[in-house]
Structure 1
Amino acid sequence: MSQGIKCLLEKNDPNVPCKADCDNKTIIINMNWKNQKELPFKIGHVIGHIANGDHGVQI
């Protein structure tokens, strides 16, 4: 949050991946992800897209 990154938590189909909306500095986390143990890594991955300065929506 100190970097201005917003986080949206959603409950989607278990196969819907987490996403990063890099243009709006927002991560979208699927709290229903099929493998709950992977969630911290998924969150880190999508934050990385924003930190790297990627553009558009990244999965």
Structure 2
Amino acid sequence: MRKFVASVKRFVTSEDGPTAVEYAVMLALIIVVCIAVITQVGTSASSTFNTVNGALS
């Protein structure tokens, strides 16, 4: 029982949990930004290819 109480105290006072959550939030934000950028680049590339296709036709 003492080992369990000691491990619970260690878990509560440990700062590894909040650090992991912070990294997860940062990773989620980076993924959202990457998706937004890739979507915008894809739209721009599609527009450019359509313009070139129209000029060649």
Greater share of helix residues, 1 or 2?
A: 2
Q: Is the TM value for this pair above 0.5?
A: no
TM-score, scaled relative to structure 2:
0.29
The structure with the larger Rg is 2
TM-score, scaled relative to structure 1:
0.28
Greater share of strand residues, 1 or 2?
A: 1
